[in-house]
Structure 1
Amino acid sequence: MATQESETLPDAYDDLLSRYERATYIGDAAGVLSWDQEVVMPEGGTPARSKQTSALSGARHDVLTSDAFAAALEEAEAADLPDRETAVVREIRREYDRAAKVPKELVERISEETSNALPVWKEAKAEDDWSHFAPKVETLLDLKRQYAEHIDPDADPYEVLFADYEPWLDLEQAEAILEQLRDELVPLIDELNDAGADLAAPFDGTYPEDDQFALAESTLDYLGYPDDHGRLDTAPHPFSSGTQFDARVTTRFDESDPVGAIGSTVHEFGHATYTLGLPREEYGNPLGQNRGLSVHESQSRLWENHVGRSREFYDGYVGIVNEELGTDVSAREAYEAANQLYPDNLIRVEADELTYHMHIILRFEIERDLLSGELAVEDVPQVWNEKMEEYLGVTPDTDGVGCLQDIHWAHGSFGYFPTYSLGSVMAAQLFEAAEDDIDGLHDDIAAGDFDALHEWLTENVHRHGRRYRTNELVREATGEDFSADAFVEYANAKFSDLYGL
């Protein structure tokens, strides 16, 4: 789909856009196959699926690195383009430069190996056996080191891989934010634990998965998720994927913890609402694509934490919870249950809002050392457990609830984890700006009216696609430079009030 102004632009720009859109469509087709593999594909389908995804990765790489693509890109760059189209060319140039440096054979090999690694990760997790998965991790680390070396042989491999997920933030800036979170949150968590507030924990029964699935469906309806552009399924590791026409979500259930499923569902809704908010008329080009995983995560964490874990949310929502689960919980009790601190929790996706970041820092440090060769793959369980004890005061009993709990390394997604904390920080800054701009926002949330917030996020974040770099987008939306200050202030105020400090 060409931009609306294409008739006034140079032919080379239109040619470039047409070629780039074709690459996008191939990548999106591969995304549907990936969704299918994680959600509904029979277990025996992996050998064929790995070949299919490898072929699509190779085809996309061919389109992006062809001589005709390069020629159209150079000619478009030489033209006098408006700011909007200049941003499109900037984004395509960055993607082309990285793709052109990596051999097609390596791209295909990485795709095939990640597809093959997924069922092995599932088996290893079920068997609590890191050694079963370790050879796949060794292979993927080696392939990703090769990939990083092709792109920039002089750079830190982790920095190169991090830029796949967050292209416009320096790793140095990301590390500074992680350090600030560690410095600010650890004493706050210690103070809250010492306070020992007796928050409500009303969900102490067993809640069948069918009831929780019905609650997840009702939750999505309540938030405004469109049935004609998405669907809800379950997956071992919840995720969202798709386009502005088809953004699907998954969640998972623990029969003893319905609050966890609520958080997971709202989180993935946040991802989907960003995807669905991207301009449809720009589908296929950078203006119709998400800015990056830090921004994507800001949308999921904004909805999960600033909306879904707020007192106002439960004023309107608790009736749905009681109806679907057969409970009789007050809004205040549900709010407290959603904001319990669990410093001894082992699972990242079940972590509370504060200790969550210790889980991220742990993973960041481990995968950085894996890539540098300072940490051997076989030693991951030991180092993981040591860091869990150091940062959270708890040691996993098994690999399944320890170093095997996340799917990311099966995808070869080394460098991904920092974006979770970066997104949480960004979410606080964006929500603070939305509070300033939207009169009665908290009253709207209490009434179950999310239209104004949807519109604000679409106007200030979603509709821009990749027009702005990450820091520029935050500045455009909030008027301030991207920093962790809003998150730290929010966390201190919210939890000091909850725990009576």
Structure 2
Amino acid sequence: MATEAAQHSETYEEFITLVERISNVGSAQSLLNWDQEVMMPEEGTPARSKQLSALSAVSHELLTGEEMAGYLDELADADLDAEQAAVVREVRRKYERAARVPTDLVETISQTAAEAHPLWKEAKAEDDFSIFAPKLEELVELKREYAEHIDPDRDPYAVLFEDYEPYLGLDTAEETLTELRDELVPLVEDIRASDADLATPFEGEFDEATQEELARDVLDTLGYDWDRGRLDVAPHPFSTGNQFDARVTTRFDESDPLGALTSTVHEFGHATYTLGLPDEHYGTPLGESRDLTVHESQSRLWENHVGRSEPFWQRFLPSMRERFPQVDDATPRDVYEAANTVKEDNLIRVEADELTYHMHIVVRFEVEKELISGELDVEDVPEVWNDKYEEYLGIRPETDAEGCLQDIHWSHGSFGYFPTYSLGSVLAAQLYEAAEDDLGALDERTREGEFDELHAWLTENVHQHGCLYTTDDLVQEATGEGFTADYFLDYVTEKYGELYDLH
């Protein structure tokens, strides 16, 4: 018996070495992707697409090879502790999906996505969907094929969704989006019918260089670890990395300094989750973030519950005044109102308020679901997109750049990603409520710029666990109850009811 236990221990150690090798290949891919979006020369795509394709193939072959299959077989009946069992569970799930997909298809998807990225950028800049459409059609076909290899008997979109949220299920996503649509649309209608006149304190131009200084100020205020991170500019803000190197990007609009700040705070939320993962488990699922629902909960918690709060602006407005004297007359309440204004004419998801944001997600969810099912042809995407915006938001994009080309996700082949934004927003409210239950009201700490306790609570209850728990179990562990939209709906009803005098 002791010999068998020793054998399993040795097998597990060898297994972990292979898992770490796969993880490091993935980290290299992420860094090349970051470089492509931030620093790579314009003409670098032909080489970069081949580099990424090669790394995708290496990673896929390591994950699906005989060596990995052997380890998983040997460990199937091993007496493992909870952490070891979680690692095996997570790797087995990835293995079982990946083993069904041919390596040449993985290479082709990676190369096609790398080629699609500059075409998307060009199409957006030229406001011409036709530039991107042929490559998007390729990606749709490739991802359908990918889903069919994994499970030919299931809805291909549900299969793709599980790449981003493996445990909550597409049914939960659909139910949540339906609940948000049913509850938020009447609230938005009440807001638009109200007589409230929220402040608009930002007039004129705010130069990009000074906005970047302000973005660095906000990261300092929140406690970003510059020794393990950096700030850069990208067409579509994102965060990437690991617990030793978690980078953020943002973008600037000289007429809208709030946009860059909320974007920066959002990406900080992602980065602080990544930085909170345990160093000692780097390279294994215990040192990796749970999934995109949980990841998005961290970014939306910091962006909305902290960065869009009045106490935050009581703390941070003096820094803005130092950088931009044109806001000397603005009060924290003014900026709070500006940061939470429900606009009637906003076409851009990343600039949306907390309420209409979810209608932006519903549009994307419905469009990409129809694309993957074959109900919608790629060439018809702009018109259908615009029709849905008119139906759900009461506005119609006049350009492709403001419409179906505004997001980067499809150029990556990321179909099934968008619902996690709404799931994450919902979870953010649930986690923030649980944190306040444990720590007491957080407004005063935010007003004083004291975020250590909130950081510590999130690290203890979310970050440090990596992938130890499934999504639903992690939510239960952190909050004491299952995933629910109730806290989010209560939060926005109270917040926007006060802002717009609806009570």
TM-score (norm 1): 0.98
1:61-82 deviation digits (Å, cap 9, x = unpaired): 1111111111011111220111
1:329-368 deviation digits (Å, cap 9, x = unpaired): 2111111111111132010000011100000000000000
Give the equivalent residue in structure 1 for 2:437: 436
Q: Quick one: which amino acid aligns to residue 176 of structure 2?
A: I
Give the equivalent residue in structure 2 for 1:490: 491
Q: Quick one: which amino acid aligns to residue 207 of structure 2?
A: P
Q: Quick one: which amino acid aligns to residue 94 of structure 1?
A: R
Please give the alpha-carbon distance, in whole angstroms, between the structure 1 residues aligned to 2:8 and 2:238: 38
Moved more, 88-97 or 69-78: 69-78
- 1:48 CA displacement: 0.2
Give the equivalent residue in structure 1 for 2:81: 82
- 1:196 CA displacement: 3.1
Moved more, 434-443 or 41-50: 434-443
Give the equivalent residue in structure 2 for 1:279: 278
CA gap of 1:320–1:479, structure 2 versus 1, over 3 A, is same
Q: Quick one: which amino acid aligns to residue 475 of structure 2?
A: V
SS of equivalent to 1:193: helix
Q: Quick one: which amino acid aligns to residue 478 of structure 1?
A: T
- 1:214 CA displacement: 0.7
SS of equivalent to 2:32: helix
Give the equivalent residue in structure 2 for 1:3: none
Query: Unaligned 5+ residue runs, structure 2?
Result: none
Please give the alpha-carbon distance, in whole angstroms, between the structure 2 residues aligned to 1:324 and 1:217: 12
Q: Quick one: which amino acid aligns to residue 38 of structure 2?
A: V
Give the equivalent residue in structure 2 for 1:32: 31
1:175-215 deviation digits (Å, cap 9, x = unpaired): 00000000000000101111131111100111011111111
1:14 aligns with 2:13: yes
- Would you say the 8 A contact 1:367–1:415 is kept in 2? yes
Please give the alpha-carbon distance, in whole angstroms, between the structure 1 residues aligned to 2:14 and 2:98: 19
Give the equivalent residue in structure 1 for 2:391: 390
Give the equivalent residue in structure 1 for 2:194: 195
- 1:322 CA displacement: 1.1
- 1:439 CA displacement: 2.8
Give the equivalent residue in structure 2 for 1:334: 335
Root mean square deviation of aligned Cα: 1.1
- Would you say the 8 A contact 1:243–1:276 is kept in 2? yes
SS of equivalent to 2:232: strand
Please give the alpha-carbon distance, in whole angstroms, between the structure 1 residues aligned to 2:130 and 2:32: 28
1:116-161 deviation digits (Å, cap 9, x = unpaired): 0000000000111111110011000010001000000001010000
Q: Quick one: which amino acid aligns to residue 141 of structure 1?
A: V
- Would you say the 8 A contact 2:8–2:74 is kept in 1? no
The number of aligned residues is 496
Please give the alpha-carbon distance, in whole angstroms, between the structure 1 residues aligned to 2:14 and 2:94: 17
Within 5 A, what are the aligned runs for 1:289-438?
289-326=288-325, 327-328=327-328, 329-438=330-439
- Would you say the 8 A contact 2:116–2:135 is kept in 1? yes
1:154 aligns with 2:179: no
Please give the alpha-carbon distance, in whole angstroms, between the structure 1 residues aligned to 2:310 and 2:399: 36
- Would you say the 8 A contact 1:13–1:73 is kept in 2? no
1:2-22 deviation digits (Å, cap 9, x = unpaired): xxxx99961111111111110
Give the equivalent residue in structure 2 for 1:167: 166
1:123 aligns with 2:122: yes
Identity of aligned residues (%): 62
- Would you say the 8 A contact 1:31–1:241 is kept in 2? yes
- 1:441 CA displacement: 1.9
Give the equivalent residue in structure 2 for 1:249: 248
Q: Quick one: which amino acid aligns to residue 80 of structure 1?
A: D
Please give the alpha-carbon distance, in whole angstroms, between the structure 2 residues aligned to 1:485 and 1:440: 19
Q: Quick one: which amino acid aligns to residue 434 of structure 1?
A: A
Please give the alpha-carbon distance, in whole angstroms, between the structure 2 residues aligned to 1:340 and 1:196: 13
Give the equivalent residue in structure 1 for 2:141: 142
- Would you say the 8 A contact 2:243–2:276 is kept in 1? yes
1:220-243 deviation digits (Å, cap 9, x = unpaired): 011100111000000000000000
Query: Unaligned 5+ residue runs, structure 1?
Result: 1-5
Q: Quick one: which amino acid aligns to residue 422 of structure 2?
A: S
Please give the alpha-carbon distance, in whole angstroms, between the structure 2 residues aligned to 1:240 and 1:481: 28
Please give the alpha-carbon distance, in whole angstroms, between the structure 2 residues aligned to 1:111 and 1:36: 16
- 1:325 CA displacement: 1.9
1:387-414 deviation digits (Å, cap 9, x = unpaired): 1111111111110110100000000000
Please give the alpha-carbon distance, in whole angstroms, between the structure 2 residues aligned to 1:237 and 1:343: 23
Q: Quick one: which amino acid aligns to residue 401 of structure 1?
A: E
Within 5 A, what are the aligned runs for 1:219-234?
219-234=218-233
Give the equivalent residue in structure 1 for 2:64: 65
Please give the alpha-carbon distance, in whole angstroms, between the structure 2 residues aligned to 1:496 and 1:7: 62
Please give the alpha-carbon distance, in whole angstroms, between the structure 1 residues aligned to 2:398 and 2:152: 40
TM-score (norm 2): 0.97
After TM superposition, which residue ranges in structure 1, 4 or more long, deviate above 6 angstroms?
A: 6-9
